[in-house]
């Protein structure tokens, strides 16, 4: 029995205030426990979405625009200082957005769609472009094409952030949507087609030889999707490459990899 039949392209989903929210084609739906979907408005474009939960507000970025949901009211971010980044993350009552040319943006405290012209910073340890921001363990990370840099809210300056000394990882991000985190580790697909994880500032290549070989045989991997599944007390990092029609899974507790597939032709799960 299907919980919900929602024809159209899935652009991402999240849980917000104990309810499921999903973007299908250009519509944001709220889905209740009975599978009833409520149309909340339009999320323009076709890019996959990234969400950030501020408690009373849900922020959505698409790479071309940003949106804020308050209650059941969906509005587009119109602040003149807002740059249309790919991603958003929430930490210390503020939203962090990736910006243009290696920059990232920090919102006003408690006002996620308001940005000041001096609340921008540049990931200066490496000249690569910032393509994803992600909060993990009281810090946030700026993922670039060639590096990952670690930041914290210092309470000083504009924006009130500082880089962690020795917190630059010399590996880039291959796929914007491949980042996922458990309680203990943050996982991502690196620019060298290897899966990495970190708990602080030291990246660990966890890719087995067999999975490395399969990744090397694929074409473009920039569309890879990564996420966390928890089953019976165990955490799994699930990495799907739609263009390559493959799904790979890493078990955090055992350290083992396996392929997950659908159908007799072993397509991606």
Instruction: Give the model confidence (pLDDT) of 235-258 as tens digits.
Output: 999 999 999 999 999 999 999 999
Q: What is the DSSP letter of 43?
A: -
Q: Is 164 exposed, middle or buried (0-12, 13-18, 19+ CB in 10 A)?
A: middle
Instruction: Give the model confidence (pLDDT) of 72-117 as tens digits.
Output: 999 999 999 998 888 999 999 999 999 887 889 999 998 999 999 9
Q: What is the pLDDT, as a whole number, of residue 102? A: 82
Cα–Cα distance measured from residue 32 to residue 25, given in angstroms and rounded to the nearest whole number: 19
Cα–Cα distance measured from residue 209 to residue 106, given in angstroms and rounded to the nearest whole number: 40
Instruction: Give the model confidence (pLDDT) of 164-178 as tens digits.
Output: 999 999 999 999 999
**pTM of structure:** 0.93
Rg for the chain (alpha carbons), in Å?
18
- Which residues, including other chains, have CB under 8 Å from residue 23's CB and lie 6 or more apart? 10, 11, 12, 13, 29, 43, 49, 60
How much is the average pLDDT of 127-135? 90
Cα–Cα distance measured from residue 119 to residue 68, given in angstroms and rounded to the nearest whole number: 19
Element (H, E) at 41: strand 37-42
Could you give the 3-state DSSP secondary structure of residue 256?
A: coil
The confidence band for 125, taking pLDDT boundaries of 50, 70 and 90, is low
Instruction: Give the model confidence (pLDDT) of 189-208 as tens digits.
Output: 999 999 999 999 999 999 99
In this structure, the chain runs to a length of: 269
Q: What is the pLDDT, as a whole number, of residue 123? A: 72
């Amino acid at each position: 029995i299907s919980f919900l039949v929602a024809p159209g392209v899935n652009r991402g989903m999240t849980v917000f205030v104990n309810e499921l929210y999903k973007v299908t084609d250009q519509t944001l739906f709220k889905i209740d426990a009975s599978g009833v979907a409520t149309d909340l408005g339009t999320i323009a474009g076709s890019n996959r979405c990234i969400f950030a939960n501020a408690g009373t507000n849900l922020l959505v970025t698409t790479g071309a625009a940003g949106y804020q949901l308050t209650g059941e009211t969906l509005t587009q971010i119109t602040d003149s200082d807002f740059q249309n980044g790919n991603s958003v993350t929430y930490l210390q009552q503020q939203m962090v957005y990736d910006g243009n040319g290696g920059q990232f943006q920090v919102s006003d405290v408690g006002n996620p769609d308001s940005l000041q012209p001096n609340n921008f910073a540049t990931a200066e340890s490496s000249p690569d472009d910032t393509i994803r921001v992600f909060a993990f363990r009281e810090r946030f990370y700026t993922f670039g094409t060639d590096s990952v840099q670690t930041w914290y809210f210092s309470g000083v300056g504009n924006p009130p952030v500082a880089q962690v000394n020795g917190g630059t990882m010399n590996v880039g991000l291959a796929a914007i949507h491949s980042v996922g985190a458990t309680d203990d580790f943050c996982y991502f697909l690196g620019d060298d087609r290897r899966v990495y994880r970190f708990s602080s500032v030291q990246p660990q290549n966890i890719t087995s030889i067999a999975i490395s070989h399969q990744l090397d045989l694929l074409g473009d991997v920039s569309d890879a999707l990564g996420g966390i599944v928890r089953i019976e007390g165990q955490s799994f990092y699930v990495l799907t490459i739609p263009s390559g029609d493959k799904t790979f899974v890493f078990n955090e507790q055992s350290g083992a990899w396996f392929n997950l597939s659908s159908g007799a032709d072993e397509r991606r799960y």
